Amino acid sequence: SYGNVSSASIGAIQRRLLVLEQQGGEQFFGEPALDLWDMMRTGAHGYGNINILAADKLMMTPGLYATFLLWLISELFENLPEVGDLDKPRMVFFFDEAHLLFDDAPDVLVEKVEQVVKLIRSKGVGIYFITQNPLDIPDAVLGQLGNRIQHALRAFTPRDQKAVRAAAQTFRTNPDLDTEATITNLGVGEALVSVLEDKGIPGIVQRTLIRPPQSLIGPANPSTVSDLLRTSPFAGKYDRVIDRESAYELLEERAKKALEANLQSELSQANAKAAKKASAGRGRSRQGVGETMAKSIARSIGSRLGTQIVRGLLGSLFRG
């Protein structure tokens, strides 16, 4: 186990991370990191810019796409200062194919998104979830959305009819409008719209004709994308991958140095013990001559020669 996390949980986390890595998460969340302030820059006249995330390939990996969206709104929530309830948000996000964020999402993820959506308004940020069916968004999140734009829904199946009823019930009732019937009868470019009023109260739903965009409808061709990237004020900023030392690499290097220091300490202690042992060995060699002579004398005591030697030694001692 790792702290209070069991081995089974660690294994599950590693498997999820491996899936993200195989989907390209290692490169996607690499460096240089995305600077959120680059998305909030204004031009010479004080107007903001429209930033488009080209997610045509990213959407093919729903897990990575959902992870990125959650990371993005979480980063905004954690880093932007509190500004209160502004008349106009300083930044607005439109998340297309929002169902990818919630498909098979665990409860903890839905709770996190609900919390961020609820509180990020005070940071001056607006979030729009775009999906073909209101049932794709959990009720807990749907209830936090103040502005609603509903295009036509066709009710051919029981599930479609349920979606129409659910969409109609999310609007504040207009006594002059049958919301449920109107949703199925909307024409091209028409929508039911409800926005927050001055005191934060949802306005009654109204049938509205949406002004069509004056820009190109559809994906840009590769040459247009290349031209925009080349003339962008951030050209080159995110082109080159930076391979910084990760926390794992820093810890690995620290452990390596600690191991080398321990080995060096053990080697020094071993050398000191060897030198001490060698010095003690030389002392025992010098003492060994006398010890050998004494042992030889002791062995010779029982012999005739030994008796004579002992007598000679004792006589010299007494005479001295």
**Per residue in 121-156, pLDDT tens?**
888 888 899 988 888 888 888 888 888 999 998 888
Task: Look at residue 301 in the predicted model and tell me its pLDDT.
Answer: 47
Strand partners, 93: 127
Distances in Å between the alpha carbon of 218 and those of 48, 103, 293, 298?
A: 22, 26, 109, 114
Distances in Å between the alpha carbon of 53 and those of 23, 239, 304?
A: 17, 15, 113
**Distance, CA of 59 to CA of 65 (rounded, Å):** 6
Task: Look at residue 295 in the predicted model and tell me its pLDDT.
Answer: 54
261 found inside a domain: yes
Strand partners, 242: 31
190 found inside a domain: no
Q: Are 79 and 124 in contact (CB under 8 A)?
A: no
198 found inside a domain: no
Q: Are 203 and 197 in contact (CB under 8 A)?
A: yes
73 found inside a domain: yes
Q: What is the chain's Cα-based Rg?
A: 41
- pLDDT of 191 > 90? The answer is yes
Residue reference for tokens 């300083």: 90
Strand partners, 129: 95
According to DSSP, residue 220 is labeled: P
Strand order from edge to edge, sheet including 148-150: 148-150, 190-194, 206-209
Task: Look at residue 76 in the predicted model and tell me its pLDDT.
Answer: 84
**Distance, CA of 88 to CA of 96 (rounded, Å):** 22
196 found inside a domain: no
Q: What is the pTM of this model?
A: 0.66
64-96: pLDDT as tens digits: 777 777 888 888 888 888 888 788 888 898 988
Domain edge (last residue) among 145, 164, 185 = 145
Task: Look at residue 291 in the predicted model and tell me its pLDDT.
Answer: 53
Among 205-209, 248-252, 294-298, which is the least confidently predicted range? 294-298
64 found inside a domain: yes
Of the candidates 307, 246, 209, 311, the one whose C-alpha atom is nearest the C-alpha of residue 30 is 246
Domain edge (last residue) among 145, 163, 195 = 145
Give the other-Cβ count within 10 Å of 97's Cβ.
Answer: 16
Task: Look at residue 135 in the predicted model and tell me its pLDDT.
Answer: 82
Instruction: Label residue 316 by pLDDT band (50, 70, 90).
Output: very low
Q: Tell me how long the chain is.
A: 320
Q: How far is CA 78 from the centre of its chain?
A: 14
Task: Look at residue 260 in the predicted model and tell me its pLDDT.
Answer: 86
222 found inside a domain: no
| Mean pLDDT score, 222-251 | 79
Overall domain count for the chain:
2
159 found inside a domain: no
Computed over every residue of the chain, the mean pLDDT equals 78
14-51: pLDDT as tens digits: 887 787 777 776 666 667 777 888 888 887 788 888 88
Task: Look at residue 193 in the predicted model and tell me its pLDDT.
Answer: 93
| Mean pLDDT score, 46-60 | 80
Structural tokens at position 255: 């452990």
**HSE (CB half, 13 Å, CA atoms) of 34?**
15
Domain that holds residue 57: 34-145
